[in-house]
Structure 1
Amino acid sequence: MEIVFIRHAQGEHTVRPPASLQIPDPALTETGIGQAAKLKETLPLTSADAVIASPTRRTLQTASIWSEDVPCVKIVHPLVGPRMFPLLPPEFALPCDRSLSGETIRREFPHFEHAAHLAEHVWQYGINALPDHSFHALANEFVRWCQSLNKPRLYVVAHDGTIASYRRHISGEALTRTDFQGETGWHIMSI
Protein backbone atom coordinates (compact mmCIF):
# COMPACT_ATOMS: atom_id res chain seq x y z
CA MET A 1 0.00 0.00 0.00
CA GLU A 2 1.00 3.61 -0.41
CA ILE A 3 0.94 6.45 2.08
CA VAL A 4 0.96 9.94 0.60
CA PHE A 5 2.29 12.33 3.23
CA ILE A 6 1.15 15.90 2.54
CA ARG A 7 2.38 18.96 4.36
CA HIS A 8 -0.39 21.30 5.50
CA ALA A 9 -1.07 24.52 3.63
CA GLN A 10 0.41 27.85 4.79
CA GLY A 11 -0.39 28.56 8.42
CA GLU A 12 -0.27 31.82 10.36
CA HIS A 13 2.76 30.55 12.27
CA THR A 14 4.98 30.50 9.14
CA VAL A 15 4.35 34.06 7.97
CA ARG A 16 6.84 35.97 10.16
CA PRO A 17 9.17 33.53 11.90
CA PRO A 18 10.57 33.30 14.46
CA ALA A 19 7.99 35.46 16.27
CA SER A 20 5.01 33.85 14.50
CA LEU A 21 6.11 30.40 15.75
CA GLN A 22 4.89 31.52 19.17
CA ILE A 23 1.26 31.68 17.95
CA PRO A 24 -0.78 29.00 19.72
CA ASP A 25 -3.32 27.17 17.53
CA PRO A 26 -2.45 28.85 14.21
CA ALA A 27 -5.04 28.69 11.44
CA LEU A 28 -4.49 28.74 7.69
CA THR A 29 -3.80 32.07 6.04
CA GLU A 30 -5.78 33.22 2.99
CA THR A 31 -2.90 31.88 0.89
CA GLY A 32 -3.13 28.57 2.76
CA ILE A 33 -6.87 28.32 2.10
CA GLY A 34 -6.15 28.71 -1.61
CA GLN A 35 -3.36 26.11 -1.46
CA ALA A 36 -5.68 23.62 0.26
CA ALA A 37 -8.38 24.21 -2.36
CA LYS A 38 -5.83 23.63 -5.14
CA LEU A 39 -5.22 20.12 -3.75
CA LYS A 40 -8.67 19.24 -5.15
CA GLU A 41 -7.15 19.56 -8.65
CA THR A 42 -3.66 18.32 -7.86
CA LEU A 43 -4.62 15.24 -5.83
CA PRO A 44 -8.35 14.64 -6.40
CA LEU A 45 -10.00 12.45 -3.80
CA THR A 46 -12.72 9.84 -4.27
CA SER A 47 -15.15 8.17 -1.91
CA ALA A 48 -12.77 5.17 -1.78
CA ASP A 49 -9.99 7.24 -0.20
CA ALA A 50 -9.05 7.85 3.41
CA VAL A 51 -7.61 11.13 4.67
CA ILE A 52 -5.81 11.12 8.01
CA ALA A 53 -4.99 14.46 9.63
CA SER A 54 -2.89 15.64 12.52
CA PRO A 55 -4.85 17.09 15.46
CA THR A 56 -3.90 20.70 14.72
CA ARG A 57 -6.13 23.40 13.28
CA ARG A 58 -3.99 23.98 10.15
CA THR A 59 -3.89 20.29 9.20
CA LEU A 60 -7.59 19.75 9.88
CA GLN A 61 -8.43 22.88 7.86
CA THR A 62 -6.22 21.70 4.98
CA ALA A 63 -7.83 18.25 4.99
CA SER A 64 -11.35 19.71 5.35
CA ILE A 65 -11.01 22.10 2.43
CA TRP A 66 -9.33 19.47 0.25
CA SER A 67 -11.93 16.77 1.00
CA GLU A 68 -14.98 19.07 0.99
CA ASP A 69 -17.93 17.41 -0.76
CA VAL A 70 -16.07 14.07 -1.03
CA PRO A 71 -17.61 11.32 1.13
CA CYS A 72 -14.25 9.71 1.91
CA VAL A 73 -13.12 8.44 5.30
CA LYS A 74 -11.69 11.30 7.41
CA ILE A 75 -9.75 10.46 10.56
CA VAL A 76 -7.79 12.60 13.01
CA HIS A 77 -4.78 10.81 14.48
CA PRO A 78 -2.23 12.01 17.06
CA LEU A 79 0.57 9.83 15.67
CA VAL A 80 0.88 12.22 12.73
CA GLY A 81 0.86 15.30 14.95
CA PRO A 82 3.73 17.77 15.04
CA ARG A 83 7.21 16.32 15.55
CA MET A 84 10.46 18.23 15.94
CA PHE A 85 13.06 17.36 13.33
CA PRO A 86 15.77 17.08 14.26
CA LEU A 87 14.61 16.14 17.72
CA LEU A 88 15.32 18.68 20.45
CA PRO A 89 14.62 18.57 24.21
CA PRO A 90 10.94 19.06 25.16
CA GLU A 91 11.54 22.60 26.41
CA PHE A 92 12.17 23.64 22.77
CA ALA A 93 8.64 22.64 21.70
CA LEU A 94 6.84 25.58 20.12
CA PRO A 95 3.36 26.89 21.02
CA CYS A 96 2.30 26.57 17.37
CA ASP A 97 2.78 22.80 17.60
CA ARG A 98 0.30 22.04 20.38
CA SER A 99 -2.51 19.69 19.39
CA LEU A 100 -6.15 20.64 19.73
CA SER A 101 -8.17 18.97 22.47
CA GLY A 102 -10.51 16.15 21.54
CA GLU A 103 -13.44 18.34 22.61
CA THR A 104 -12.37 21.15 20.26
CA ILE A 105 -11.91 18.73 17.37
CA ARG A 106 -15.33 17.13 17.94
CA ARG A 107 -16.97 20.57 18.09
CA GLU A 108 -15.17 22.29 15.19
CA PHE A 109 -14.37 19.33 12.93
CA PRO A 110 -17.24 16.88 13.53
CA HIS A 111 -16.78 15.17 10.17
CA PHE A 112 -13.50 13.61 11.39
CA GLU A 113 -13.49 10.29 13.21
CA HIS A 114 -11.01 9.89 16.05
CA ALA A 115 -8.43 7.12 15.98
CA ALA A 116 -9.80 5.33 19.04
CA HIS A 117 -7.15 2.70 19.61
CA LEU A 118 -4.71 4.96 21.48
CA ALA A 119 -4.16 5.74 25.14
CA GLU A 120 -5.28 9.17 26.38
CA HIS A 121 -1.69 10.30 27.08
CA VAL A 122 -0.84 9.89 23.37
CA TRP A 123 -3.71 12.24 22.50
CA GLN A 124 -2.64 14.67 25.20
CA TYR A 125 1.12 14.78 24.59
CA GLY A 126 1.49 13.62 20.98
CA ILE A 127 4.82 12.74 19.37
CA ASN A 128 6.51 16.15 19.17
CA ALA A 129 9.29 15.61 21.69
CA LEU A 130 9.24 11.83 22.16
CA PRO A 131 12.66 10.17 22.26
CA ASP A 132 13.41 8.36 19.00
CA HIS A 133 12.97 4.86 20.47
CA SER A 134 9.47 5.77 21.72
CA PHE A 135 8.60 7.41 18.41
CA HIS A 136 9.74 4.35 16.44
CA ALA A 137 7.51 2.05 18.51
CA LEU A 138 4.50 4.31 17.89
CA ALA A 139 5.42 4.76 14.22
CA ASN A 140 5.36 0.97 13.82
CA GLU A 141 1.93 0.95 15.48
CA PHE A 142 0.73 3.69 13.11
CA VAL A 143 1.95 1.77 10.03
CA ARG A 144 0.17 -1.41 11.22
CA TRP A 145 -3.00 0.61 11.83
CA CYS A 146 -2.76 2.08 8.31
CA GLN A 147 -2.44 -1.40 6.87
CA SER A 148 -5.51 -2.52 8.82
CA LEU A 149 -7.62 0.07 6.95
CA ASN A 150 -7.25 -2.09 3.80
CA LYS A 151 -6.91 0.84 1.43
CA PRO A 152 -4.48 0.79 -1.50
CA ARG A 153 -3.57 4.42 -0.78
CA LEU A 154 -3.90 6.65 2.30
CA TYR A 155 -3.43 10.39 2.44
CA VAL A 156 -1.85 11.83 5.60
CA VAL A 157 -1.96 15.60 6.19
CA ALA A 158 0.83 16.36 8.63
CA HIS A 159 3.83 18.59 9.33
CA ASP A 160 7.28 18.91 7.78
CA GLY A 161 9.09 17.41 10.78
CA THR A 162 6.54 14.61 11.09
CA ILE A 163 6.85 13.70 7.43
CA ALA A 164 10.66 13.68 7.66
CA SER A 165 10.50 11.50 10.78
CA TYR A 166 8.23 8.95 9.08
CA ARG A 167 10.33 9.00 5.91
CA ARG A 168 13.43 8.25 7.96
CA HIS A 169 11.61 5.60 10.01
CA ILE A 170 10.11 3.76 7.02
CA SER A 171 12.95 4.04 4.50
CA GLY A 172 15.99 4.48 6.73
CA GLU A 173 17.19 7.35 4.54
CA ALA A 174 19.28 10.09 6.11
CA LEU A 175 17.36 13.36 5.96
CA THR A 176 17.91 16.96 6.97
CA ARG A 177 15.65 19.99 7.16
CA THR A 178 16.51 20.68 3.50
CA ASP A 179 14.40 17.60 2.66
CA PHE A 180 11.22 19.16 4.10
CA GLN A 181 8.18 19.42 1.84
CA GLY A 182 6.94 22.89 0.93
CA GLU A 183 3.39 23.95 1.74
CA THR A 184 1.01 21.25 0.38
CA GLY A 185 4.01 19.37 -0.97
CA TRP A 186 3.82 15.59 -0.76
CA HIS A 187 5.92 12.45 -0.55
CA ILE A 188 4.68 8.97 -1.50
CA MET A 189 5.92 5.91 0.40
CA SER A 190 5.17 2.23 -0.03
CA ILE A 191 4.69 0.16 3.11
Structure 2
Amino acid sequence: MEFIFIRHGHGEHLNDYPNRLNTLHPSLTEYGKFQVMQLRDEIKINPDYLVLVSPTKRTIETATIMKNGMDFIISPFVGPRMFPQNPELPFLACDHILSIAEITNLYGHTDILDFNFDCWKEGINRIEQDVFEGYAKQLLDWIGENYQKIFIISHDGTITNYRILLGEKGLTRKDFLGEAGVYRMTL
Protein backbone atom coordinates (compact mmCIF):
# COMPACT_ATOMS: atom_id res chain seq x y z
CA MET A 1 0.00 0.00 0.00
CA GLU A 2 1.29 3.44 -0.91
CA PHE A 3 0.33 6.77 0.63
CA ILE A 4 0.85 9.79 -1.60
CA PHE A 5 0.60 13.05 0.31
CA ILE A 6 0.00 16.17 -1.75
CA ARG A 7 0.14 19.67 -0.37
CA HIS A 8 -2.25 22.19 -1.90
CA GLY A 9 -0.96 24.77 -4.34
CA HIS A 10 -0.20 28.41 -3.53
CA GLY A 11 -3.15 29.94 -1.68
CA GLU A 12 -4.41 33.51 -1.40
CA HIS A 13 -3.47 33.57 2.28
CA LEU A 14 0.20 33.30 1.28
CA ASN A 15 0.15 36.52 -0.73
CA ASP A 16 1.72 39.21 1.44
CA TYR A 17 2.81 36.58 3.99
CA PRO A 18 2.27 36.63 6.98
CA ASN A 19 -0.19 39.53 6.85
CA ARG A 20 -2.98 37.52 5.14
CA LEU A 21 -2.92 34.37 7.27
CA ASN A 22 -6.21 35.49 8.80
CA THR A 23 -7.99 35.29 5.45
CA LEU A 24 -11.06 33.09 5.90
CA HIS A 25 -11.37 30.22 3.39
CA PRO A 26 -8.61 31.28 0.98
CA SER A 27 -8.71 29.88 -2.54
CA LEU A 28 -5.82 28.91 -4.76
CA THR A 29 -4.17 31.77 -6.58
CA GLU A 30 -3.76 31.58 -10.35
CA TYR A 31 -0.17 30.52 -9.69
CA GLY A 32 -1.43 27.83 -7.30
CA LYS A 33 -3.78 26.50 -10.00
CA PHE A 34 -0.85 26.45 -12.44
CA GLN A 35 1.27 24.49 -9.92
CA VAL A 36 -1.47 21.90 -9.50
CA MET A 37 -2.05 21.58 -13.27
CA GLN A 38 1.66 20.85 -13.69
CA LEU A 39 1.46 18.29 -10.91
CA ARG A 40 -1.60 16.68 -12.54
CA ASP A 41 0.47 16.11 -15.66
CA GLU A 42 3.08 14.24 -13.58
CA ILE A 43 0.79 12.22 -11.30
CA LYS A 44 -2.05 10.14 -12.63
CA ILE A 45 -4.87 9.28 -10.24
CA ASN A 46 -6.90 6.26 -11.31
CA PRO A 47 -10.60 6.01 -10.39
CA ASP A 48 -9.92 3.02 -8.12
CA TYR A 49 -7.45 4.95 -5.93
CA LEU A 50 -8.70 6.51 -2.70
CA VAL A 51 -8.44 10.30 -2.58
CA LEU A 52 -9.04 12.00 0.77
CA VAL A 53 -9.21 15.79 0.87
CA SER A 54 -9.11 18.36 3.63
CA PRO A 55 -12.30 20.46 3.93
CA THR A 56 -10.71 23.78 2.91
CA LYS A 57 -11.25 25.65 -0.36
CA ARG A 58 -7.61 25.43 -1.43
CA THR A 59 -7.39 21.66 -0.93
CA ILE A 60 -10.76 20.97 -2.58
CA GLU A 61 -9.69 23.15 -5.53
CA THR A 62 -6.41 21.21 -5.68
CA ALA A 63 -8.32 17.90 -5.67
CA THR A 64 -10.75 19.12 -8.33
CA ILE A 65 -7.87 19.96 -10.65
CA MET A 66 -5.94 16.78 -9.84
CA LYS A 67 -8.91 14.40 -10.22
CA ASN A 68 -10.19 16.06 -13.41
CA GLY A 69 -13.84 15.14 -12.85
CA MET A 70 -13.40 11.97 -10.79
CA ASP A 71 -14.77 11.58 -7.27
CA PHE A 72 -12.93 12.20 -4.02
CA ILE A 73 -13.86 12.13 -0.33
CA ILE A 74 -13.67 15.16 1.94
CA SER A 75 -12.75 14.44 5.55
CA PRO A 76 -12.00 16.68 8.52
CA PHE A 77 -9.50 14.00 9.64
CA VAL A 78 -7.07 15.31 7.01
CA GLY A 79 -7.89 18.97 7.64
CA PRO A 80 -5.32 21.53 8.74
CA ARG A 81 -3.28 20.49 11.78
CA MET A 82 -0.63 22.58 13.46
CA PHE A 83 2.90 21.13 13.59
CA PRO A 84 4.41 21.12 16.05
CA GLN A 85 1.46 21.60 18.38
CA ASN A 86 1.64 24.83 20.36
CA PRO A 87 -1.63 25.84 22.04
CA GLU A 88 -0.22 29.30 22.71
CA LEU A 89 -0.19 30.16 19.01
CA PRO A 90 -3.33 31.85 17.65
CA PHE A 91 -5.93 29.96 15.63
CA LEU A 92 -5.59 31.41 12.13
CA ALA A 93 -8.66 32.07 9.98
CA CYS A 94 -6.98 30.40 6.97
CA ASP A 95 -7.11 27.11 8.88
CA HIS A 96 -10.87 27.15 9.53
CA ILE A 97 -12.53 24.28 7.70
CA LEU A 98 -15.66 24.57 5.62
CA SER A 99 -18.84 23.23 7.19
CA ILE A 100 -20.79 20.41 5.56
CA ALA A 101 -23.39 22.98 4.44
CA GLU A 102 -20.70 25.21 2.91
CA ILE A 103 -19.15 22.23 1.11
CA THR A 104 -22.55 21.27 -0.31
CA ASN A 105 -23.35 24.85 -1.33
CA LEU A 106 -19.98 25.36 -3.02
CA TYR A 107 -19.34 21.95 -4.54
CA GLY A 108 -22.67 20.13 -4.73
CA HIS A 109 -22.93 16.49 -3.78
CA THR A 110 -19.57 15.36 -2.47
CA ASP A 111 -18.75 12.31 -0.38
CA ILE A 112 -17.87 13.20 3.20
CA LEU A 113 -16.21 10.89 5.72
CA ASP A 114 -16.46 11.86 9.38
CA PHE A 115 -17.63 8.66 11.17
CA ASN A 116 -20.39 10.84 12.67
CA PHE A 117 -17.88 12.38 15.09
CA ASP A 118 -18.50 15.95 16.17
CA CYS A 119 -15.34 17.37 14.63
CA TRP A 120 -16.57 20.06 12.26
CA LYS A 121 -16.40 23.09 14.54
CA GLU A 122 -12.62 23.40 14.81
CA GLY A 123 -11.42 20.33 12.94
CA ILE A 124 -8.19 18.64 13.99
CA ASN A 125 -5.96 21.72 14.02
CA ARG A 126 -5.52 22.16 17.76
CA ILE A 127 -7.04 19.07 19.35
CA GLU A 128 -5.03 17.06 21.85
CA GLN A 129 -2.51 14.67 20.32
CA ASP A 130 -4.22 11.57 21.71
CA VAL A 131 -7.58 12.67 20.26
CA PHE A 132 -5.96 13.33 16.87
CA GLU A 133 -4.28 9.92 16.95
CA GLY A 134 -7.62 8.27 17.76
CA TYR A 135 -9.28 9.96 14.78
CA ALA A 136 -6.32 9.19 12.51
CA LYS A 137 -6.20 5.54 13.57
CA GLN A 138 -9.95 5.24 12.93
CA LEU A 139 -9.34 6.62 9.43
CA LEU A 140 -6.41 4.27 8.81
CA ASP A 141 -8.47 1.30 10.04
CA TRP A 142 -11.26 2.31 7.66
CA ILE A 143 -8.75 2.43 4.79
CA GLY A 144 -7.42 -0.99 5.80
CA GLU A 145 -5.95 -2.98 2.92
CA ASN A 146 -8.70 -1.97 0.50
CA TYR A 147 -6.67 0.38 -1.69
CA GLN A 148 -3.42 0.07 -3.59
CA LYS A 149 -2.84 3.83 -3.43
CA ILE A 150 -4.19 6.43 -1.05
CA PHE A 151 -3.84 10.09 -1.97
CA ILE A 152 -4.22 12.62 0.84
CA ILE A 153 -4.51 16.22 -0.33
CA SER A 154 -3.87 18.35 2.69
CA HIS A 155 -1.56 20.80 4.49
CA ASP A 156 2.07 20.73 5.62
CA GLY A 157 1.38 20.22 9.32
CA THR A 158 -1.22 17.53 8.72
CA ILE A 159 1.01 15.64 6.32
CA THR A 160 3.89 15.75 8.80
CA ASN A 161 1.63 14.53 11.63
CA TYR A 162 0.46 11.57 9.52
CA ARG A 163 4.00 10.73 8.45
CA ILE A 164 4.97 10.49 12.13
CA LEU A 165 1.88 8.44 12.94
CA LEU A 166 2.81 6.06 10.10
CA GLY A 167 6.27 5.51 11.60
CA GLU A 168 8.68 8.24 10.52
CA LYS A 169 10.85 9.74 13.21
CA GLY A 170 12.65 13.03 13.76
CA LEU A 171 10.54 15.15 11.41
CA THR A 172 10.61 18.93 11.79
CA ARG A 173 9.15 21.90 9.95
CA LYS A 174 12.14 21.56 7.59
CA ASP A 175 10.41 18.42 6.26
CA PHE A 176 7.36 20.38 5.05
CA LEU A 177 6.60 19.78 1.38
CA GLY A 178 6.02 23.28 0.09
CA GLU A 179 3.39 24.32 -2.45
CA ALA A 180 2.03 21.44 -4.56
CA GLY A 181 4.65 19.21 -2.98
CA VAL A 182 4.39 15.42 -3.04
CA TYR A 183 5.62 12.80 -0.59
CA ARG A 184 5.30 9.05 -1.18
CA MET A 185 5.32 6.50 1.60
CA THR A 186 5.06 2.74 1.09
CA LEU A 187 3.84 0.60 3.97
- Structure 1 and Structure 2 fold alike (TM over 0.5): yes
Of 176, 179, 182, which aligns to 1:180? 176
RMSD: 1.5
The question of whether the paired residues in 2 share the 8 Å contact of 1:52 and 1:76 is answered with yes
**1:19-168 matched pairs, under 5 angstroms:** 19-69=19-69, 71=70, 73-89=71-87, 92-110=90-108, 112-119=110-117, 121-147=118-144, 150-168=146-164
Q: Using the TM superposition, name which of 86-95 and 151-160 deviates more.
A: 86-95
Structure 1, unaligned runs of 5 or more = none
TM-superposed CA distance for 1:49, in Å, is 2.0
Cα distance between partner residues in 2 of 1:123 and 1:188: 28
Structure 2, unaligned runs of 5 or more = none
**SS state of the match for residue 151, structure 1?**
coil
Identity %: 36
1:144-187 deviation per Cα after TM superposition (whole angstroms, max 9, x unaligned)? 12226x11001110000000111111114111111000111111
1:116-151 deviation per Cα after TM superposition (whole angstroms, max 9, x unaligned)? 5231x2122211001111111111112112226x11
1:10-56 deviation per Cα after TM superposition (whole angstroms, max 9, x unaligned)? 10111221111111110000001111212221111222222210000
> With structure 2 as the length reference, what TM-score do the two structures score?
0.93
Q: Higher helix share goes to which structure?
A: 1
> With structure 1 as the length reference, what TM-score do the two structures score?
0.92
**SS state of the match for residue 121, structure 2?**
helix
Paired letter, 1:114: I
Q: Using the TM superposition, name which of 158-167 and 138-147 deviates more.
A: 138-147
